[in-house]
A and B are shown apart, each in its own frame.
Chain A
Amino acid sequence: MSNYLLSRIGQAAIVLLLAFAASFLLLQALPGDAILIKYQNPEMGLTPEQIAEIRVLYGADAPIWVQFGNTVWNFVQGSFGYSVQAGVPVRDLIAVNLPATLRLSSLGLVAAIALALLVAFAATLAPLRWLRSLIASAPSLLAALPVFWIGIVLIQIFSFRLRLVPVINPNEFQQLVLPVATLAIPIAAPLAQVFIRSLDEIEAQPFIAVVRAKGASRAWILFRHMLRNAILPVLTIAGVLFGDLLAGAVVTETVFGLNGLGRVTEQAVSNQDTAVLQAIVVLAALGFVFVNLLVDLAAPLIDPRLNRKIGAAA
Protein backbone atom coordinates (compact mmCIF):
# COMPACT_ATOMS: atom_id res chain seq x y z
CA MET A 1 0.00 0.00 0.00
CA SER A 2 2.71 2.48 0.97
CA ASN A 3 4.70 1.40 -2.10
CA TYR A 4 1.70 2.12 -4.24
CA LEU A 5 1.26 5.49 -2.58
CA LEU A 6 4.89 6.40 -3.18
CA SER A 7 4.86 5.41 -6.86
CA ARG A 8 1.59 7.26 -7.34
CA ILE A 9 3.05 10.40 -5.76
CA GLY A 10 6.18 9.97 -7.88
CA GLN A 11 4.08 9.83 -11.03
CA ALA A 12 2.21 12.95 -9.95
CA ALA A 13 5.49 14.76 -9.36
CA ILE A 14 6.76 13.83 -12.83
CA VAL A 15 3.60 15.12 -14.46
CA LEU A 16 3.87 18.29 -12.47
CA LEU A 17 7.51 18.88 -13.34
CA LEU A 18 6.78 18.26 -17.02
CA ALA A 19 3.88 20.69 -16.88
CA PHE A 20 6.15 23.21 -15.28
CA ALA A 21 8.89 22.73 -17.85
CA ALA A 22 6.40 23.02 -20.71
CA SER A 23 4.86 26.18 -19.33
CA PHE A 24 8.30 27.63 -18.74
CA LEU A 25 9.45 26.84 -22.27
CA LEU A 26 6.30 28.17 -23.86
CA LEU A 27 5.70 31.23 -21.76
CA GLN A 28 9.10 32.37 -20.61
CA ALA A 29 11.63 31.22 -23.16
CA LEU A 30 9.67 32.00 -26.29
CA PRO A 31 8.85 35.54 -27.50
CA GLY A 32 6.11 37.72 -26.18
CA ASP A 33 8.60 39.37 -23.81
CA ALA A 34 6.42 41.15 -21.30
CA ILE A 35 9.24 43.45 -20.20
CA LEU A 36 9.77 44.76 -23.69
CA ILE A 37 6.07 45.22 -24.20
CA LYS A 38 5.77 47.33 -21.11
CA TYR A 39 8.96 49.34 -21.18
CA GLN A 40 9.45 49.87 -24.89
CA ASN A 41 6.34 52.02 -24.76
CA PRO A 42 7.63 55.32 -26.20
CA GLU A 43 5.62 57.32 -23.63
CA MET A 44 7.99 56.04 -20.95
CA GLY A 45 10.96 57.45 -22.84
CA LEU A 46 13.41 54.79 -21.70
CA THR A 47 16.68 54.26 -23.51
CA PRO A 48 17.68 50.78 -24.72
CA GLU A 49 20.36 50.76 -22.02
CA GLN A 50 17.80 51.38 -19.33
CA ILE A 51 15.62 48.59 -20.74
CA ALA A 52 18.58 46.23 -20.70
CA GLU A 53 19.15 47.16 -17.06
CA ILE A 54 15.58 46.35 -16.25
CA ARG A 55 15.99 43.04 -18.01
CA VAL A 56 18.95 42.20 -15.83
CA LEU A 57 16.88 43.17 -12.80
CA TYR A 58 14.18 40.69 -13.81
CA GLY A 59 16.78 38.02 -14.67
CA ALA A 60 15.68 37.93 -18.31
CA ASP A 61 19.22 38.08 -19.72
CA ALA A 62 20.55 34.89 -18.12
CA PRO A 63 20.95 31.64 -20.13
CA ILE A 64 17.77 29.68 -20.40
CA TRP A 65 18.72 26.80 -18.07
CA VAL A 66 19.77 29.28 -15.41
CA GLN A 67 16.42 30.99 -15.78
CA PHE A 68 14.67 27.61 -15.54
CA GLY A 69 16.61 26.64 -12.43
CA ASN A 70 15.89 30.00 -10.86
CA THR A 71 12.21 29.75 -11.67
CA VAL A 72 11.87 26.25 -10.22
CA TRP A 73 13.73 27.30 -7.09
CA ASN A 74 11.59 30.40 -6.72
CA PHE A 75 8.38 28.42 -7.21
CA VAL A 76 9.38 25.89 -4.59
CA GLN A 77 9.96 28.78 -2.23
CA GLY A 78 6.55 30.17 -3.08
CA SER A 79 7.83 33.10 -5.07
CA PHE A 80 6.24 33.35 -8.49
CA GLY A 81 8.01 36.45 -9.80
CA TYR A 82 6.54 39.86 -10.53
CA SER A 83 3.49 40.82 -12.45
CA VAL A 84 5.00 43.11 -15.04
CA GLN A 85 1.71 44.87 -15.62
CA ALA A 86 0.59 45.42 -12.04
CA GLY A 87 4.10 45.77 -10.73
CA VAL A 88 3.40 43.66 -7.65
CA PRO A 89 4.62 40.14 -6.74
CA VAL A 90 2.47 37.48 -8.40
CA ARG A 91 2.18 35.79 -5.01
CA ASP A 92 0.43 38.84 -3.57
CA LEU A 93 -1.83 39.12 -6.56
CA ILE A 94 -2.91 35.50 -6.13
CA ALA A 95 -3.21 35.71 -2.36
CA VAL A 96 -5.52 38.71 -2.65
CA ASN A 97 -7.74 37.18 -5.31
CA LEU A 98 -7.76 33.51 -4.31
CA PRO A 99 -10.34 33.67 -1.48
CA ALA A 100 -13.08 35.17 -3.66
CA THR A 101 -12.56 32.58 -6.40
CA LEU A 102 -12.34 29.78 -3.86
CA ARG A 103 -15.66 30.86 -2.38
CA LEU A 104 -17.36 31.17 -5.76
CA SER A 105 -16.08 27.86 -7.08
CA SER A 106 -16.71 25.85 -3.92
CA LEU A 107 -20.28 27.15 -3.79
CA GLY A 108 -20.58 26.39 -7.52
CA LEU A 109 -19.29 22.87 -6.99
CA VAL A 110 -21.70 22.17 -4.15
CA ALA A 111 -24.61 23.50 -6.18
CA ALA A 112 -23.49 21.48 -9.20
CA ILE A 113 -23.27 18.25 -7.21
CA ALA A 114 -26.69 18.85 -5.70
CA LEU A 115 -28.19 19.60 -9.10
CA ALA A 116 -26.54 16.58 -10.72
CA LEU A 117 -27.71 14.22 -7.97
CA LEU A 118 -31.21 15.61 -8.22
CA VAL A 119 -31.36 15.09 -11.98
CA ALA A 120 -29.78 11.63 -11.80
CA PHE A 121 -32.09 10.41 -9.04
CA ALA A 122 -35.12 11.80 -10.84
CA ALA A 123 -33.99 10.10 -14.06
CA THR A 124 -33.77 6.78 -12.21
CA LEU A 125 -36.77 6.97 -9.91
CA ALA A 126 -39.40 8.92 -11.89
CA PRO A 127 -42.53 6.81 -12.32
CA LEU A 128 -42.95 6.76 -16.09
CA ARG A 129 -40.46 5.55 -18.65
CA TRP A 130 -40.82 8.51 -21.02
CA LEU A 131 -40.49 10.91 -18.10
CA ARG A 132 -37.27 9.20 -17.04
CA SER A 133 -35.76 9.44 -20.52
CA LEU A 134 -36.87 13.07 -20.77
CA ILE A 135 -35.11 13.92 -17.51
CA ALA A 136 -32.09 11.90 -18.57
CA SER A 137 -31.71 13.97 -21.74
CA ALA A 138 -31.73 17.30 -19.88
CA PRO A 139 -28.00 17.27 -19.02
CA SER A 140 -26.93 16.96 -22.65
CA LEU A 141 -28.95 20.10 -23.39
CA LEU A 142 -27.35 21.94 -20.47
CA ALA A 143 -23.89 20.83 -21.60
CA ALA A 144 -24.41 22.58 -24.93
CA LEU A 145 -24.93 26.01 -23.33
CA PRO A 146 -21.97 28.43 -23.37
CA VAL A 147 -21.13 29.46 -19.79
CA PHE A 148 -21.00 33.18 -20.58
CA TRP A 149 -24.38 32.99 -22.31
CA ILE A 150 -25.97 31.31 -19.28
CA GLY A 151 -24.71 34.20 -17.15
CA ILE A 152 -26.06 36.86 -19.48
CA VAL A 153 -29.44 35.18 -19.85
CA LEU A 154 -29.73 34.71 -16.08
CA ILE A 155 -29.02 38.40 -15.55
CA GLN A 156 -31.58 39.34 -18.18
CA ILE A 157 -34.26 37.10 -16.69
CA PHE A 158 -33.72 37.56 -12.96
CA SER A 159 -32.33 41.08 -12.80
CA PHE A 160 -33.99 42.92 -15.65
CA ARG A 161 -37.24 41.05 -16.36
CA LEU A 162 -38.30 39.66 -13.01
CA ARG A 163 -36.28 42.17 -10.98
CA LEU A 164 -35.61 39.55 -8.33
CA VAL A 165 -31.88 40.16 -8.07
CA PRO A 166 -30.85 43.81 -8.00
CA VAL A 167 -27.81 44.84 -9.97
CA ILE A 168 -27.10 47.88 -7.87
CA ASN A 169 -26.17 47.49 -4.22
CA PRO A 170 -26.91 43.78 -3.92
CA ASN A 171 -26.41 42.06 -0.59
CA GLU A 172 -23.91 39.23 -0.39
CA PHE A 173 -26.42 36.52 -1.26
CA GLN A 174 -27.83 38.47 -4.19
CA GLN A 175 -24.34 39.16 -5.43
CA LEU A 176 -23.41 35.49 -5.48
CA VAL A 177 -26.58 33.62 -6.42
CA LEU A 178 -26.46 34.22 -10.17
CA PRO A 179 -22.69 33.63 -10.59
CA VAL A 180 -22.94 30.43 -8.57
CA ALA A 181 -25.83 29.24 -10.75
CA THR A 182 -23.90 30.19 -13.89
CA LEU A 183 -20.91 28.22 -12.73
CA ALA A 184 -22.94 25.27 -11.44
CA ILE A 185 -25.01 24.52 -14.55
CA PRO A 186 -22.16 23.60 -16.93
CA ILE A 187 -20.43 21.62 -14.16
CA ALA A 188 -23.60 19.78 -13.21
CA ALA A 189 -24.33 18.77 -16.81
CA PRO A 190 -21.36 16.43 -17.43
CA LEU A 191 -21.54 15.26 -13.83
CA ALA A 192 -25.16 14.23 -14.28
CA GLN A 193 -24.44 12.72 -17.70
CA VAL A 194 -21.67 10.48 -16.39
CA PHE A 195 -23.67 9.61 -13.30
CA ILE A 196 -26.82 8.71 -15.25
CA ARG A 197 -24.86 6.64 -17.76
CA SER A 198 -23.07 4.87 -14.96
CA LEU A 199 -26.36 4.21 -13.14
CA ASP A 200 -27.83 2.85 -16.37
CA GLU A 201 -24.92 0.49 -16.84
CA ILE A 202 -25.19 -0.74 -13.27
CA GLU A 203 -28.94 -1.18 -13.62
CA ALA A 204 -28.38 -3.52 -16.57
CA GLN A 205 -26.10 -5.78 -14.50
CA PRO A 206 -27.45 -9.21 -13.63
CA PHE A 207 -27.01 -8.62 -9.92
CA ILE A 208 -29.67 -5.92 -9.99
CA ALA A 209 -32.17 -8.47 -11.34
CA VAL A 210 -31.21 -10.69 -8.42
CA VAL A 211 -31.90 -7.90 -5.94
CA ARG A 212 -35.23 -7.24 -7.65
CA ALA A 213 -36.04 -10.94 -7.33
CA LYS A 214 -35.60 -10.51 -3.59
CA GLY A 215 -38.47 -8.05 -3.63
CA ALA A 216 -36.53 -4.78 -3.29
CA SER A 217 -38.12 -1.50 -4.35
CA ARG A 218 -36.56 0.85 -6.90
CA ALA A 219 -35.43 3.25 -4.19
CA TRP A 220 -33.89 0.40 -2.15
CA ILE A 221 -31.99 -0.78 -5.22
CA LEU A 222 -30.82 2.73 -6.10
CA PHE A 223 -29.58 3.71 -2.66
CA ARG A 224 -28.25 0.40 -1.38
CA HIS A 225 -26.87 -1.17 -4.53
CA MET A 226 -26.49 1.15 -7.49
CA LEU A 227 -25.13 4.25 -5.80
CA ARG A 228 -21.87 2.87 -4.49
CA ASN A 229 -21.20 1.03 -7.75
CA ALA A 230 -22.01 4.06 -9.89
CA ILE A 231 -19.96 6.62 -7.97
CA LEU A 232 -16.55 5.43 -9.16
CA PRO A 233 -16.85 6.50 -12.83
CA VAL A 234 -18.06 9.88 -11.55
CA LEU A 235 -14.97 10.25 -9.36
CA THR A 236 -12.69 9.59 -12.30
CA ILE A 237 -13.86 12.81 -13.98
CA ALA A 238 -13.23 14.82 -10.81
CA GLY A 239 -9.93 16.12 -12.22
CA VAL A 240 -11.60 17.29 -15.41
CA LEU A 241 -14.35 18.95 -13.41
CA PHE A 242 -11.73 20.76 -11.36
CA GLY A 243 -10.42 22.24 -14.61
CA ASP A 244 -13.92 23.11 -15.76
CA LEU A 245 -14.51 24.83 -12.46
CA LEU A 246 -11.44 27.05 -12.95
CA ALA A 247 -12.37 27.81 -16.55
CA GLY A 248 -15.91 28.53 -15.43
CA ALA A 249 -14.59 30.94 -12.81
CA VAL A 250 -12.64 32.88 -15.46
CA VAL A 251 -15.75 33.35 -17.58
CA THR A 252 -18.19 33.88 -14.72
CA GLU A 253 -16.05 36.51 -13.02
CA THR A 254 -15.69 38.31 -16.33
CA VAL A 255 -19.42 38.26 -17.07
CA PHE A 256 -20.45 39.41 -13.59
CA GLY A 257 -17.54 41.79 -13.10
CA LEU A 258 -16.39 40.02 -9.93
CA ASN A 259 -12.85 40.23 -8.62
CA GLY A 260 -10.94 36.97 -8.38
CA LEU A 261 -8.34 34.73 -9.95
CA GLY A 262 -10.46 34.34 -13.07
CA ARG A 263 -10.43 38.07 -13.64
CA VAL A 264 -6.68 38.15 -12.99
CA THR A 265 -6.20 35.40 -15.58
CA GLU A 266 -8.28 37.18 -18.17
CA GLN A 267 -6.34 40.42 -17.67
CA ALA A 268 -3.00 38.62 -17.69
CA VAL A 269 -3.77 37.27 -21.16
CA SER A 270 -5.00 40.61 -22.45
CA ASN A 271 -1.80 42.28 -21.18
CA GLN A 272 0.52 39.40 -22.08
CA ASP A 273 1.57 39.21 -18.46
CA THR A 274 3.22 35.79 -18.71
CA ALA A 275 4.49 35.52 -15.16
CA VAL A 276 0.97 35.71 -13.81
CA LEU A 277 -0.43 33.23 -16.31
CA GLN A 278 2.43 30.82 -15.68
CA ALA A 279 1.86 30.87 -11.94
CA ILE A 280 -1.84 30.21 -12.42
CA VAL A 281 -1.22 27.39 -14.91
CA VAL A 282 1.24 25.67 -12.59
CA LEU A 283 -1.06 26.08 -9.60
CA ALA A 284 -3.94 24.66 -11.64
CA ALA A 285 -1.83 21.65 -12.66
CA LEU A 286 -0.89 21.19 -9.02
CA GLY A 287 -4.57 21.25 -8.06
CA PHE A 288 -5.46 18.81 -10.83
CA VAL A 289 -2.75 16.36 -9.86
CA PHE A 290 -3.72 16.63 -6.20
CA VAL A 291 -7.41 16.02 -6.92
CA ASN A 292 -6.61 12.95 -9.01
CA LEU A 293 -4.29 11.63 -6.34
CA LEU A 294 -7.10 11.93 -3.81
CA VAL A 295 -9.48 10.12 -6.16
CA ASP A 296 -7.01 7.27 -6.66
CA LEU A 297 -6.57 6.91 -2.94
CA ALA A 298 -10.31 7.06 -2.28
CA ALA A 299 -11.26 4.56 -5.00
CA PRO A 300 -10.34 1.36 -3.06
CA LEU A 301 -12.50 2.56 -0.18
CA ILE A 302 -15.46 2.49 -2.53
CA ASP A 303 -14.64 -0.64 -4.51
CA PRO A 304 -12.94 -3.42 -2.50
CA ARG A 305 -11.82 -5.11 -5.73
CA LEU A 306 -9.30 -2.29 -6.30
CA ASN A 307 -7.84 -2.96 -2.90
CA ARG A 308 -6.77 -6.40 -3.97
CA LYS A 309 -5.06 -5.13 -7.09
CA ILE A 310 -3.12 -2.60 -5.08
CA GLY A 311 -2.16 -5.28 -2.60
CA ALA A 312 -0.89 -7.46 -5.43
CA ALA A 313 1.05 -4.62 -6.99
CA ALA A 314 2.64 -3.52 -3.74
Chain B
Amino acid sequence: MTTLDLSKPTTALKSRVQLVKWPRLEPTLVLSWLVIALAIAFALAPQLFTPHSGTIGLAGNQLKPPSAEHWLGTDEIGRDVFARIIYGAINSLSGALIAVTVGFTGGTALGLIAGSSRRVVDDTIMRLVDTLLSVPGLLLQLSIIIILGFGTTNVAIAVGATSVASFARLSRAEVIRVRRADYVEAAFGSGGRFLNVLWRHVLPNSLGTVLAYAALQFGVAILAIATLGFLGYGAPPPIPEWGLLIAEGRKYMTTSWWLTVFPGLAVILVVLAANRISLALRARS
Protein backbone atom coordinates (compact mmCIF):
# COMPACT_ATOMS: atom_id res chain seq x y z
CA MET B 1 0.00 0.00 0.00
CA THR B 2 2.95 2.30 -0.55
CA THR B 3 1.24 3.99 -3.44
CA LEU B 4 -1.58 5.01 -1.18
CA ASP B 5 0.81 6.49 1.35
CA LEU B 6 2.55 8.42 -1.37
CA SER B 7 -0.65 9.79 -2.77
CA LYS B 8 -1.88 11.19 0.50
CA PRO B 9 0.30 14.26 0.93
CA THR B 10 -0.20 15.24 -2.70
CA THR B 11 -3.97 15.14 -2.40
CA ALA B 12 -3.75 17.18 0.78
CA LEU B 13 -1.62 19.69 -1.06
CA LYS B 14 -4.04 19.75 -3.96
CA SER B 15 -7.01 20.46 -1.74
CA ARG B 16 -5.17 23.37 -0.19
CA VAL B 17 -4.28 24.68 -3.60
CA GLN B 18 -7.94 24.57 -4.59
CA LEU B 19 -8.85 26.34 -1.40
CA VAL B 20 -6.99 29.48 -2.38
CA LYS B 21 -8.55 29.15 -5.83
CA TRP B 22 -5.33 28.95 -7.79
CA PRO B 23 -6.49 29.25 -11.37
CA ARG B 24 -5.94 26.01 -13.24
CA LEU B 25 -3.77 26.50 -16.30
CA GLU B 26 -5.92 26.07 -19.36
CA PRO B 27 -3.78 25.78 -22.47
CA THR B 28 -6.13 27.64 -24.82
CA LEU B 29 -6.52 30.48 -22.34
CA VAL B 30 -2.75 30.79 -21.86
CA LEU B 31 -2.33 30.79 -25.62
CA SER B 32 -4.96 33.53 -25.93
CA TRP B 33 -3.17 35.76 -23.44
CA LEU B 34 0.09 35.11 -25.31
CA VAL B 35 -1.51 36.19 -28.60
CA ILE B 36 -2.80 39.38 -27.01
CA ALA B 37 0.54 40.06 -25.30
CA LEU B 38 2.38 39.58 -28.58
CA ALA B 39 -0.04 41.87 -30.41
CA ILE B 40 0.47 44.55 -27.76
CA ALA B 41 4.24 44.14 -28.04
CA PHE B 42 3.95 44.54 -31.84
CA ALA B 43 1.97 47.71 -31.29
CA LEU B 44 4.36 49.22 -28.74
CA ALA B 45 7.74 48.33 -30.21
CA PRO B 46 7.39 47.04 -33.79
CA GLN B 47 11.05 47.62 -34.60
CA LEU B 48 12.06 44.91 -32.12
CA PHE B 49 10.28 42.23 -34.12
CA THR B 50 11.32 42.96 -37.69
CA PRO B 51 14.29 44.50 -39.45
CA HIS B 52 12.07 45.57 -42.36
CA SER B 53 10.12 48.76 -42.74
CA GLY B 54 6.35 48.81 -42.54
CA THR B 55 5.88 51.46 -45.20
CA ILE B 56 8.91 51.59 -47.50
CA GLY B 57 9.41 48.87 -50.08
CA LEU B 58 12.57 47.46 -51.59
CA ALA B 59 12.92 47.76 -55.34
CA GLY B 60 13.19 44.45 -57.19
CA ASN B 61 11.63 42.69 -54.28
CA GLN B 62 8.01 42.80 -55.45
CA LEU B 63 5.40 40.07 -54.82
CA LYS B 64 7.82 37.46 -53.50
CA PRO B 65 6.19 34.40 -51.88
CA PRO B 66 7.03 33.53 -48.26
CA SER B 67 10.73 32.71 -47.80
CA ALA B 68 13.37 32.61 -45.06
CA GLU B 69 14.11 36.28 -45.72
CA HIS B 70 10.47 37.41 -45.89
CA TRP B 71 8.48 34.96 -43.74
CA LEU B 72 5.13 36.02 -45.07
CA GLY B 73 6.23 37.24 -48.49
CA THR B 74 6.32 40.76 -49.95
CA ASP B 75 3.73 43.01 -51.61
CA GLU B 76 3.51 44.81 -54.93
CA ILE B 77 6.05 47.47 -54.02
CA GLY B 78 8.41 45.12 -52.21
CA ARG B 79 7.31 45.69 -48.63
CA ASP B 80 7.63 42.78 -46.19
CA VAL B 81 4.11 41.52 -45.33
CA PHE B 82 5.08 40.40 -41.84
CA ALA B 83 6.56 43.85 -41.14
CA ARG B 84 3.33 45.45 -42.40
CA ILE B 85 1.29 43.26 -40.06
CA ILE B 86 3.57 44.13 -37.13
CA TYR B 87 3.47 47.85 -37.85
CA GLY B 88 -0.29 47.59 -38.40
CA ALA B 89 -0.96 46.20 -34.92
CA ILE B 90 -0.97 49.66 -33.37
CA ASN B 91 -3.80 50.81 -35.65
CA SER B 92 -6.04 47.81 -35.02
CA LEU B 93 -5.39 47.56 -31.29
CA SER B 94 -5.64 51.24 -30.44
CA GLY B 95 -8.74 51.50 -32.60
CA ALA B 96 -10.36 48.58 -30.78
CA LEU B 97 -9.30 50.05 -27.45
CA ILE B 98 -10.89 53.41 -28.26
CA ALA B 99 -14.03 51.66 -29.50
CA VAL B 100 -14.40 49.52 -26.37
CA THR B 101 -13.69 52.49 -24.10
CA VAL B 102 -16.37 54.56 -25.82
CA GLY B 103 -18.89 51.72 -25.73
CA PHE B 104 -18.05 50.63 -22.19
CA THR B 105 -18.13 54.05 -20.52
CA GLY B 106 -21.12 55.32 -22.46
CA GLY B 107 -23.08 52.08 -22.24
CA THR B 108 -22.34 51.24 -18.62
CA ALA B 109 -23.20 54.74 -17.48
CA LEU B 110 -26.53 54.63 -19.34
CA GLY B 111 -27.26 51.10 -18.11
CA LEU B 112 -26.42 51.92 -14.51
CA ILE B 113 -28.62 55.01 -14.54
CA ALA B 114 -31.48 53.15 -16.25
CA GLY B 115 -31.23 50.14 -13.96
CA SER B 116 -31.17 52.10 -10.73
CA SER B 117 -33.57 54.95 -11.55
CA ARG B 118 -37.28 55.40 -11.55
CA ARG B 119 -39.46 53.95 -14.24
CA VAL B 120 -39.69 57.12 -16.34
CA VAL B 121 -35.95 57.56 -16.64
CA ASP B 122 -35.46 53.86 -17.25
CA ASP B 123 -38.10 53.79 -19.99
CA THR B 124 -36.73 56.88 -21.72
CA ILE B 125 -33.18 55.56 -21.77
CA MET B 126 -34.22 52.12 -22.91
CA ARG B 127 -36.39 53.48 -25.76
CA LEU B 128 -33.33 55.40 -26.98
CA VAL B 129 -31.26 52.26 -26.69
CA ASP B 130 -33.91 50.32 -28.63
CA THR B 131 -33.68 52.96 -31.31
CA LEU B 132 -29.92 52.62 -31.56
CA LEU B 133 -30.28 48.84 -31.74
CA SER B 134 -32.85 49.07 -34.52
CA VAL B 135 -30.26 50.25 -37.02
CA PRO B 136 -27.91 47.50 -38.18
CA GLY B 137 -24.39 47.97 -36.78
CA LEU B 138 -22.60 48.54 -40.04
CA LEU B 139 -25.16 51.10 -41.25
CA LEU B 140 -24.94 52.99 -37.97
CA GLN B 141 -21.14 53.01 -38.26
CA LEU B 142 -21.38 54.27 -41.84
CA SER B 143 -23.80 57.02 -40.78
CA ILE B 144 -21.38 58.21 -38.14
CA ILE B 145 -18.43 58.01 -40.51
CA ILE B 146 -20.27 60.03 -43.12
CA ILE B 147 -20.59 62.79 -40.50
CA LEU B 148 -17.17 62.57 -38.85
CA GLY B 149 -15.24 61.78 -42.01
CA PHE B 150 -12.79 58.98 -42.75
CA GLY B 151 -9.77 58.01 -40.63
CA THR B 152 -8.63 55.56 -37.95
CA THR B 153 -9.94 57.45 -34.94
CA ASN B 154 -13.28 58.29 -36.51
CA VAL B 155 -13.77 54.67 -37.46
CA ALA B 156 -12.94 53.62 -33.91
CA ILE B 157 -15.41 56.11 -32.46
CA ALA B 158 -18.10 54.94 -34.88
CA VAL B 159 -17.53 51.32 -33.89
CA GLY B 160 -17.60 52.25 -30.21
CA ALA B 161 -20.76 54.32 -30.53
CA THR B 162 -22.47 51.36 -32.15
CA SER B 163 -21.75 49.17 -29.12
CA VAL B 164 -23.07 51.71 -26.59
CA ALA B 165 -26.57 50.31 -26.91
CA SER B 166 -25.65 46.69 -26.24
CA PHE B 167 -23.38 47.69 -23.33
CA ALA B 168 -26.26 49.70 -21.89
CA ARG B 169 -28.68 46.84 -22.24
CA LEU B 170 -26.37 44.31 -20.64
CA SER B 171 -25.31 46.48 -17.73
CA ARG B 172 -28.92 47.47 -17.04
CA ALA B 173 -29.94 43.81 -16.95
CA GLU B 174 -27.03 43.04 -14.64
CA VAL B 175 -27.84 45.91 -12.31
CA ILE B 176 -31.45 44.80 -12.12
CA ARG B 177 -30.41 41.18 -11.50
CA VAL B 178 -28.06 42.20 -8.70
CA ARG B 179 -30.61 44.63 -7.24
CA ARG B 180 -33.03 41.76 -6.82
CA ALA B 181 -30.43 39.63 -5.03
CA ASP B 182 -30.99 38.78 -1.39
CA TYR B 183 -27.67 40.26 -0.35
CA VAL B 184 -28.67 43.67 -1.68
CA GLU B 185 -31.89 43.52 0.29
CA ALA B 186 -29.86 42.43 3.28
CA ALA B 187 -27.60 45.45 2.79
CA PHE B 188 -30.63 47.77 2.83
CA GLY B 189 -31.95 45.80 5.79
CA SER B 190 -28.82 46.47 7.78
CA GLY B 191 -29.29 50.20 7.29
CA GLY B 192 -27.38 50.86 4.08
CA ARG B 193 -28.14 54.03 2.15
CA PHE B 194 -28.97 53.81 -1.56
CA LEU B 195 -25.63 55.05 -2.86
CA ASN B 196 -23.67 52.98 -0.33
CA VAL B 197 -25.41 49.82 -1.44
CA LEU B 198 -24.98 50.74 -5.09
CA TRP B 199 -21.26 51.30 -4.63
CA ARG B 200 -20.52 48.38 -2.29
CA HIS B 201 -22.67 45.64 -3.81
CA VAL B 202 -24.46 46.46 -7.04
CA LEU B 203 -21.55 47.90 -8.98
CA PRO B 204 -18.88 45.28 -8.14
CA ASN B 205 -21.27 42.39 -8.71
CA SER B 206 -22.60 43.63 -12.04
CA LEU B 207 -19.20 44.62 -13.38
CA GLY B 208 -17.86 41.08 -13.89
CA THR B 209 -20.26 40.17 -16.66
CA VAL B 210 -19.89 43.58 -18.28
CA LEU B 211 -16.08 43.25 -18.31
CA ALA B 212 -16.38 39.84 -19.94
CA TYR B 213 -18.61 41.47 -22.55
CA ALA B 214 -16.01 44.21 -23.02
CA ALA B 215 -13.42 41.57 -23.86
CA LEU B 216 -15.84 40.09 -26.36
CA GLN B 217 -16.47 43.54 -27.83
CA PHE B 218 -12.73 44.01 -28.23
CA GLY B 219 -12.79 41.14 -30.73
CA VAL B 220 -15.93 42.48 -32.37
CA ALA B 221 -14.30 45.91 -32.68
CA ILE B 222 -11.18 44.44 -34.31
CA LEU B 223 -13.42 42.78 -36.89
CA ALA B 224 -15.52 45.90 -37.46
CA ILE B 225 -12.47 48.14 -37.83
CA ALA B 226 -10.92 45.70 -40.29
CA THR B 227 -14.17 45.67 -42.27
CA LEU B 228 -14.36 49.47 -42.43
CA GLY B 229 -10.67 49.58 -43.27
CA PHE B 230 -11.29 47.10 -46.06
CA LEU B 231 -14.10 49.28 -47.42
CA GLY B 232 -11.59 52.15 -47.44
CA TYR B 233 -13.01 54.39 -44.72
CA GLY B 234 -10.20 53.90 -42.22
CA ALA B 235 -6.55 54.77 -42.34
CA PRO B 236 -5.40 56.00 -45.77
CA PRO B 237 -2.59 54.15 -47.57
CA PRO B 238 0.30 53.58 -47.04
CA ILE B 239 -0.60 53.17 -43.35
CA PRO B 240 -0.52 49.44 -42.70
CA GLU B 241 -3.97 48.81 -41.23
CA TRP B 242 -4.93 45.09 -41.31
CA GLY B 243 -8.21 45.50 -43.16
CA LEU B 244 -6.58 47.86 -45.64
CA LEU B 245 -3.75 45.34 -46.22
CA ILE B 246 -6.34 42.79 -47.30
CA ALA B 247 -8.09 45.33 -49.53
CA GLU B 248 -4.80 46.19 -51.23
CA GLY B 249 -3.76 42.55 -51.54
CA ARG B 250 -7.06 41.78 -53.27
CA LYS B 251 -5.80 43.24 -56.55
CA TYR B 252 -3.13 40.54 -56.68
CA MET B 253 -5.13 37.61 -55.37
CA THR B 254 -4.81 35.59 -58.59
CA THR B 255 -1.07 35.32 -58.06
CA SER B 256 -0.14 36.34 -54.52
CA TRP B 257 -2.38 34.59 -51.98
CA TRP B 258 -0.12 35.58 -49.06
CA LEU B 259 -1.08 39.23 -49.35
CA THR B 260 -4.66 38.54 -48.25
CA VAL B 261 -4.36 35.34 -46.23
CA PHE B 262 -1.81 36.43 -43.60
CA PRO B 263 -3.31 39.80 -42.53
CA GLY B 264 -6.63 37.96 -42.30
CA LEU B 265 -5.07 35.36 -40.02
CA ALA B 266 -3.71 38.12 -37.79
CA VAL B 267 -7.23 39.53 -37.40
CA ILE B 268 -8.68 36.07 -36.73
CA LEU B 269 -6.08 35.15 -34.10
CA VAL B 270 -6.63 38.33 -32.10
CA VAL B 271 -10.41 37.98 -32.32
CA LEU B 272 -10.29 34.32 -31.22
CA ALA B 273 -8.01 35.22 -28.32
CA ALA B 274 -10.32 38.03 -27.19
CA ASN B 275 -13.32 35.68 -27.37
CA ARG B 276 -11.55 33.00 -25.35
CA ILE B 277 -10.53 35.50 -22.68
CA SER B 278 -14.07 36.83 -22.54
CA LEU B 279 -15.32 33.30 -21.97
CA ALA B 280 -12.90 32.82 -19.08
CA LEU B 281 -13.94 36.16 -17.54
CA ARG B 282 -17.58 35.24 -17.82
CA ALA B 283 -17.01 31.87 -16.16
CA ARG B 284 -15.29 33.66 -13.26
CA SER B 285 -17.97 36.24 -12.64
Contacts of B230 in A (CB 8 A): 146, 148, 251
Which of A26, A144, A146, A250 contacts B243, CB < 8 Å? A146
In which size bucket is the chain B interface? 35 or more
Enumerate A251-273 residues with CB–CB distance to B below 8 Å: 251, 254-255, 265-266, 268-270, 272
Q: Is B3 on the interface with A (CB-CB < 8 A)?
A: no
- Determine the distance from Cα of A32 to Cα of B140 in the docked complex, in whole angstroms: 16
Give per-residue flags for B198-237: 1 if the beta carbon is below 8 A from chain A beta carbons, else 0.
0000000000000000000001000100110011110000
Shortest Cβ distance from B246 into chain A, in angstroms?
6
Which of B130, B146, B232 contacts A27, CB < 8 Å? B146
Contact check, B231 vs A19: say whether CB atoms are below 8 A apart.
no
- On whether A145 and B131 interact (CB within 8 A), knowing A26-B147, A281-B143, the answer reads no
Q: Is B91 on the interface with A (CB-CB < 8 A)?
A: no
Using a Cβ cutoff of 8 Å, how many contacts connect chains A and B? Answer: 132
Contact check, A247 vs B137: say whether CB atoms are below 8 A apart.
yes
- Determine the distance from Cα of A153 to Cα of B219 in the docked complex, in whole angstroms: 21
- Determine the distance from Cα of A251 to Cα of B134 in the docked complex, in whole angstroms: 20
Which of B133, B226, B257, B272 contacts A156, CB < 8 Å? B257
Enumerate B251-276 residues with CB–CB distance to A below 8 Å: 253-254, 257, 260-261, 264, 267-268, 271-272, 275
Q: Is A158 on the interface with B (CB-CB < 8 A)?
A: no
For A151, the closest partner residue in chain B by CB is B250
Q: Is A134 on the interface with B (CB-CB < 8 A)?
A: no
Q: Is B41 on the interface with A (CB-CB < 8 A)?
A: no
Contact check, B131 vs A26: say whether CB atoms are below 8 A apart.
no
Contacts of A277 in B (CB 8 A): 139, 142-143, 146
Q: List 9 A-B contacts (CB under 8 A).
A: A19-B134, A27-B146, A32-B147, A140-B272, A146-B227, A153-B264, A244-B136, A266-B231, A288-B135
- Show the binding face of B for A, using Cβ within 8 Å: 127-128, 130-131, 133-140, 142-147, 219, 223, 226-227, 230-233, 243, 246-247, 250, 253-254, 257, 260-261, 264, 267-268, 271-272, 275
